[in-house]
Structure 1
């Protein structure tokens, strides 16, 4: 995944990552992720046409 065209860095060891799934049940990790993306404009899939718009 890319955040505004740059690789989305998922920090910490609390993430469970597979080709089709990104999962965590750790509250602090979720909060950090939301803080990281709230200032972004778009999340896109690498080599994909799909975009999640983050702007209002």
Structure 2
């Protein structure tokens, strides 16, 4: 299920403005088998000014 959620998120990246460094971090974290909720928490800490 996480894979479907992740692929849905990536398919919608064209509609959202997400900086390239954040996209790269998402891909890296996902490929290390980290779940989406944990990825969100990590990104919120690292890129607090981008993510609400």
Instruction: Determine if the TM-score, normalized by the shorter chain, exceeds 0.5.
Output: no
Which one has the bigger strand percentage? 1
The TM-score with structure 1 as length reference comes to 0.28
TM-score normalised by length of structure 2: 0.29
Query: Greater relative contact order: 1 or 2 (C-alpha under 8 angstroms, separation 6 or more)?
Result: 1
Relative to its length, the structure with more helix (as a share) is: 2
| CA radius of gyration, larger in | 1
